[in-house]
Amino acid sequence: MISIIDYGLGNIRAFSNMYKRMNLDATPVSSVVELRKATKIILPGVGAFDHAMELLEASGMRETLDELVLEKKIPVVGVCVGMQILAENSEEGSRPGLGWIKGTVRHFRSEPRANGLPLPHMGWNDVRPLVAEGLFDGLGEDARFYFLHSFYFDCAREEDAAARASYGVDFVCSVTSGNIHGVQFHPEKSHHYGARLLKNFADL
C-alpha cells in the first residue's frame, strides 16, 4: 500500500486523486498502526522546515518512519518541504532534520547569482534528470514540473543528486539514496509529467 503521511502539511488529496486516476491505492495515514501497513511512503510538505519537523514529531510517527525507512528499507519520497526535511539541517530554522540524506537546505539568497530574483521560485521549470531510471524512468530533459520554494537542498554527496534545475543558479531538485527519494517540485500539480513520476515511484 502507498501510504501518504498526513501530519498536517501537504496536499494529501491531490496525491490520492492522482493515484485514484491510475487505479492505484494510495491512502492517507495519521497513526503508527496505519503506517505499519505501508509498502511505499509519500512524505509531503509545505511551509517552513522547523514547523514541518515539529508537526512530524508531534504526530507520533517519527520513530516508526525511521524504522521503516532506515531498517526495513521501505521506499519513501519526500515532496517539497518533505524533501527538505530529509536533510540534516536548514538555514531556514534551528531544528535538525531527519538526516536520511546528508546535506543542508539553503536559501537562494545565500547564492549571489540568485540575488535579485523573485522569491519564492514559483511556476513551471525544466528538470534535468541525472539518472535515466527510478523516479525519472521515461522522463527526458524535456520534463517540466511545478515549483514553489525559496530554499534548495545542497547535497553533501554529489552522487545523491538525481536531478537538477536552474533559477539563477543550478540547484539540486531531486535526491536519491537507496530507497530514499525526494523531489523539490510538486508532482501532484505537474500534470502528465508528475503522473509519470508518481507511477514510477509506485513501480519501484
Q: Is 155 a catalytic residue?
A: no
CA–CA separation, 99 and 30 (whole Å): 22
Q: Is 173 a catalytic residue?
A: no
For 10, the 3-state DSSP assignment is coil
* 172 grid coordinates: 539540486
**Parallel, antiparallel or unpaired: strands 40-43 and 2-5:** parallel
DSSP string, 36-104: TT-SEEEE---S-HHHHHHHHHHTT-HHHHHIIIIIS---EEEETHHHHTTSSEETT-SS----SS-EE
86: which strand partners? none
CA–CA separation, 39 and 59 (whole Å): 20
Catalytic residue among 57, 80, 155, 159: 80
Cβ contacts of residue 191 below 8 Å, gap of 6+? Answer: none
Residue 44 CB neighbours (<10 A): 25
Catalytic residue among 92, 121, 149, 188: 188
Q: Catalytic residue positions?
A: 80, 186, 188
